[in-house]
Amino acid sequence: MRASALVLALLMAAPAGAREAVYLMRGPQLPVQTLVNGHAQVVTPRGPDEVEVRVATDATPIEARAAYSVIRRQPTAGVPSGFMLPPALAARLDDRADAWEAATQVLEWVARRVALDPNDSFPQDATSVLRRHRGRCSGLANASVALLLAAGFEAQTVSGLLMTDQGPVPHRWLECRFPGAGWVPADPTLGLWTITPRHVVFADAVRRIPEVRVVSYGSDPLARLPFRSGMRLRPNEGIELICRVVDPADAPPVVATLLGPEGEVLHTRLAPEGSFSRLLPGRWVLEVERDGTLLRRQELHLSGASRHLLAVRLPRTSTRRGS
């Protein structure tokens, strides 16, 4: 499948929890098409030097699958000349941890030690920013990428625009590559592994901001994410909900539907057990039915533990759906 078709397919098949924004842009420097874990951008020509840009983000769990020890065994490439991992940070990166946890600790290190200063006029290279503990968005991205590279990860900065309420501004964030999950974006000025539909990717630093008309903004994708170190965190693994019919024991299979706060609609068959995975914290509604007849409806508040077990007891009487 061509890259453009792949990105378009992802947008069209995006889960109900995905957020999408649409922009019209005109100018000599325009966005590029891109697809990573949690962020897809489709660019469609609309006229001379004009494009429609559709940006969709997905805050569902990342699902990286690798131990940090595997990352550490790979050759390190791209580390800035003379740059070294701070000993105190290196001591925190346990080979027994998974790769996502190690990379998250790197981002936390930057968040705790480097303050965002949009007016910082000093050099924004990683060494300078880490030495003075402050920097612009480019400085935070450069510092994060340098540390991730020194820790053994593949990482790179990303340039583009951030669509603020006051208009578009040049911005920089990063991507880190995880086995099993691919490239995952993160904006160090925003949170841990978080990004929004207001992030528009360009091939290089934006020198001339195009004319922008906002067609629609996606809703805030961060509101449901849990906190870590005071920042929103896109988790690596989501919550798993296991439902099991326990009464009556000889009941034939039923269908369970899970309704999410952002319009998610998930289905599983309880025969007598079924499960839902990759769930974010929040308020969900479970409906159990058989042949169009609603047998049970229950509100659930999922948080904390990565696995929830729910005993589903079926009533002797039922309600016809729609009645």
Cite the residue boundaries of each domain of the chain with CATH code 2.60.40.10.
Answer: 239-320
Cite the residue boundaries of each domain of the chain with CATH code 3.10.620.
Answer: 3-232
* Share in percent of the chain as helix, strand, coil (round to 5): 20, 40, 40
**pLDDT value for 4:** 40
pTM of the model as a whole: 0.84
The correct CATH number of 239-320 out of 3.30.1240.10, 1.20.120.80, 2.60.40.10, 3.30.365.10 is: 2.60.40.10
- Provide the 10 A C-beta neighbour count for residue 128: 16
Q: What is the pLDDT along the chain (323 residues), one digit of tens a residue?
A: 333 443 444 344 344 445 799 999 999 999 999 999 999 999 999 988 999 999 999 888 999 998 999 888 776 778 888 888 999 999 999 988 999 999 999 999 999 999 999 999 999 999 999 999 999 999 999 999 999 999 999 999 999 999 999 999 999 999 999 999 999 999 999 999 999 999 999 999 999 999 999 999 877 768 888 888 899 999 999 999 999 998 765 667 899 999 998 788 999 999 889 999 989 888 999 999 988 889 999 999 988 768 899 998 887 655 555 55
CATH class of 3-232: alpha beta
Paired tokens of 88: 């105190």
Residue given tokens 């769930």 in the structure block? 279
- φ, ψ for residue 82 (rounded to 5)? 80, 0
Among left, alpha and beta (phi > 0; psi -120 to 50; other), residue 193 is: left
**pLDDT value for 215:** 95
* 8 Å CB contact between 241 and 279: yes
